[in-house]
């Protein structure tokens, strides 16, 4: 009887394990997204939404389009593209991929500090960094040209850190703008 009870307990344990199938749990369903119909709404990337086709020619001139933003700003003495500009570069890359007839000129700029030669070299590194980022996002090299303007085209003429920060940039110009 003791042997039978032990066998029954073992059988019950086996059956309970078999009853616990290892089916994957159903994924939780995410709630429905909420659409913000405010025309001044800003997306999480800081770029305003627009009703214009984001990769059309009209988007290049629409101030609500991310394509209207054409400058990438750099830290002092740096040519590293900051993460905050990755979404903007992605928009420009998608536009260029959808409109292969367009070319882009990337102008690298520097603030007035440093020698003329140093600033020309830094401006070139900045324009090349923007070009490389766009190529990594799928833009054809034939669509891109990079040049350095050094300190020759300042956006601001004051001698302050906030002004110099405006001059440390890469400007993106499309066909017909250069």
Angstrom distance (rounded) from CA 172 to CA 60: 11
Angstrom distance (rounded) from CA 134 to CA 44: 21
Kindly report whether the global pTM for this prediction surpasses the value 0.85.
no
Is there a domain that residue 58 lies in? no
Instruction: Please give the biggest Cα pair distance in the chain.
Output: 100
Is there a domain that residue 102 lies in? yes
pLDDT of residue 51: 57
Is there a domain that residue 11 lies in? no
Angstrom distance (rounded) from CA 148 to CA 128: 9
Is there a domain that residue 89 lies in? yes
CATH code, domain carrying 165:
3.30.1330.60
Is there a domain that residue 24 lies in? no
Look at the chain and report how many structural domains it folds into: 1
Is there a domain that residue 57 lies in? no
pLDDT of residue 57: 82
pLDDT of residue 118: 98
Averaged over successive runs of 10 residues, the pLDDT of the chain (178 residues) comes to: 45 42 41 42 46 78 94 98 98 96 97 97 98 98 98 96 97 94
Q: What is the CA radius of gyration of the chain?
A: 28
Closest CA to 45 of 64, 66, 29, 59: 66
Is there a domain that residue 122 lies in? yes
- What residue numbers bound the domain in which 159 lies? 64-178
pLDDT of residue 21: 41
Alpha helices by DSSP H, listed for the chain, are 2-19, 57-61, 86-98, 116-136, 161-167
**Residue 81 backbone dihedrals phi, psi, to 5 degrees:** -75, 125
Angstrom distance (rounded) from CA 67 to CA 83: 17
């Amino acid at each position: 009887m003791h042997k039978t009870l032990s066998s029954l307990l073992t059988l019950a344990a086996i059956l309970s394990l078999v009853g616990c199938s290892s089916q994957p749990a159903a994924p939780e369903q995410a709630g429905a997204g909420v659409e913000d119909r405010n025309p001044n709404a800003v997306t999480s990337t800081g770029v305003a939404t627009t009703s214009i086709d984001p990769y059309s020619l009209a988007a290049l001139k629409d101030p609500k389009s991310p394509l209207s933003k054409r400058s990438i700003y750099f830290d002092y003495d740096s040519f590293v593209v900051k993460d905050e500009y990755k979404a903007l570069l992605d928009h420009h890359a998608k536009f260029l991929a959808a409109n292969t007839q367009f070319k882009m000129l990337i102008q690298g700029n520097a603030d007035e500090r440093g020698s003329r030669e140093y600033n020309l070299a830094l401006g070139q590194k900045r324009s090349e960094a923007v070009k490389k980022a766009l190529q990594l996002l799928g833009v054809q090299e034939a669509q891109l040209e990079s040049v350095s303007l050094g300190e020759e085209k300042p956006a601001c003429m004051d001698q302050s850190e906030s002004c110099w920060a405006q001059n440390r940039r890469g400007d993106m110009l499309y066909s017909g703008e250069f």
